[in-house]
Structure 1
Amino acid sequence: MSQHLNLTFCCLLALLIGGCQAQPPKFLNPSVTGYNYTSAAINSFTVNGDGGPNLGPYTGGGGFACCTTVPRQWQPGMTATVEWEKDPEPFAYANWPPLGTDGYEAAYKQHAAKYTRHRVTVEIPRYEVVGSMKVHFLPCDQVLVAVNNVQPGYPGYPHNDVINALNLEEPETCPKP
């Protein structure tokens, strides 16, 4: 009798485990892709605490990093918090003393003191299918994100109107938030 009970228990356990594994995950882990439409370098950035690549100036489609976490299904009111460090003079090193010298080290420290740090929380537009997390850095420290499975420039991308309107020139002064 106990052998029959053990077999029944094992079968029930296998069904329970198999049933749990058959459900799709509630969260997915897309890669993070950055797009920089500014004259500054983005030294580093994060989306909800997950790292993204560094981006040179005017990198209209930069590298990608792995990964962030998003719900499989979009929900109204979803947001992403983007934090980044910006180098406003990314080509200043061209006039520095030779690499490895005390002068270079001093120039680097003086330059790095000008880096600025930013944080913004933005809305995540509706998506049906999760693609990569695309983060767009715009002039005046504005940021847009998208998670849908459509690439910028193609029909259905939620920010084509903004991206296509950019002439890649930053305004002399930015509006106050």
Structure 2
Amino acid sequence: MKITWVRWLLGVFVLMLVGCSTADNEMAGGNIQAVNHTLSNINWLSVNGYRADGGGGRSCCIIMPTKWRPGLKAHIEWEVDPEPFAKIKRKTTGYGFDEDAWAAHEANFKRYSTKVDIPEWPGVESCDLKVHFFTCNQVKVTTSCWAPSSPSYPIRVPMGMKEPSVCPK
């Protein structure tokens, strides 16, 4: 009697797993890439909990659906160094690093978060998730397979943008 009950539960469990493995639910890994259009430094970023370097290179990995669906969003968190070229005093002893000066500089770092829509990608293939940072803490993402320098790339905004004195609400 117990063996029959266990087999029945096992059968139900297997059916549930098979039912959840449809093509619409398939996931795949990809890279995250930061594209910084500002004069500030993006120290790091996180997309849906997957952390990445903010320096512009590709960071592994993010898990995303293989097929786009409406309502797909990215929750993005990031840290900004608003004065990336500030000079930190050097000590004349030890290793030449002033921890107090660094702590004062680091106290100016700011953290932000937002949710953005992930635009539809053509076909069934997406490429790296590229996160674009703009002035006024605006963010856009794309999964375009084109390089940001390509005329076919969907986000065409200049680099090195200066922060305006007043940001739109």
Deviation at 1:154, TM superposition (A): 3.0
Instruction: Provide, for residues 1-33 of structure 1, a one-character-per-residue CA deviation record: whole Å limited to 9, x for no partner.
Output: xxxxxxxxxxxxxxxxxxxxxx87811111111
Deviation at 1:168, TM superposition (A): 2.1
Q: Is the 8 A contact 2:79 2:111 kept in 1?
A: yes
Q: How does 1:1-177 map to 2 (within 5 A)?
A: 26-55=26-55, 62-92=56-86, 94-98=87-91, 100=94, 104-128=98-122, 129-160=125-156, 163-164=157-158, 168-176=161-169
Structure 2 CA distance for partners of 1:75 and 1:108, relative to 1, 3 Å: same
Q: Is the 8 A contact 2:38 2:160 kept in 1?
A: no
Q: Is the 8 A contact 1:28 1:72 kept in 2?
A: yes
Q: Which has the higher helix share?
A: 1
Q: Is the 8 A contact 1:125 1:158 kept in 2?
A: no
- Partner Cα separation in structure 2 for residue 84 and residue 149 of structure 1: 23
Q: Is the 8 A contact 1:32 1:64 kept in 2?
A: yes
Aligned length: 144
* SS in structure 2 at match of 1:30: strand
Deviation at 1:71, TM superposition (A): 0.6
Q: Is the 8 A contact 2:39 2:160 kept in 1?
A: no
Q: Which amino acid aligns with 1:121?
A: K
Structure 2 CA distance for partners of 1:133 and 1:103, relative to 1, 3 Å: closer
Structure 2 CA distance for partners of 1:167 and 1:89, relative to 1, 3 Å: closer
Q: Which amino acid aligns with 1:115?
A: F
Q: Is the 8 A contact 1:26 1:72 kept in 2?
A: yes
- Partner Cα separation in structure 2 for residue 89 and residue 78 of structure 1: 34
Please report the TM-score for the alignment, with normalisation by the length of structure 1: 0.72
Deviation at 1:124, TM superposition (A): 0.6
Deviation at 1:91, TM superposition (A): 1.3
* SS in structure 2 at match of 1:110: helix
| Cα-Cα RMSD | 2.4
Q: Higher relative contact order by CA 8 Å / sep ≥ 6: 1 or 2?
A: 2
Unaligned runs of 5+ in 1: 1-22, 56-61
Please report the TM-score for the alignment, with normalisation by the length of structure 2: 0.75
Deviates more, 1:30-39 or 1:97-106: 97-106
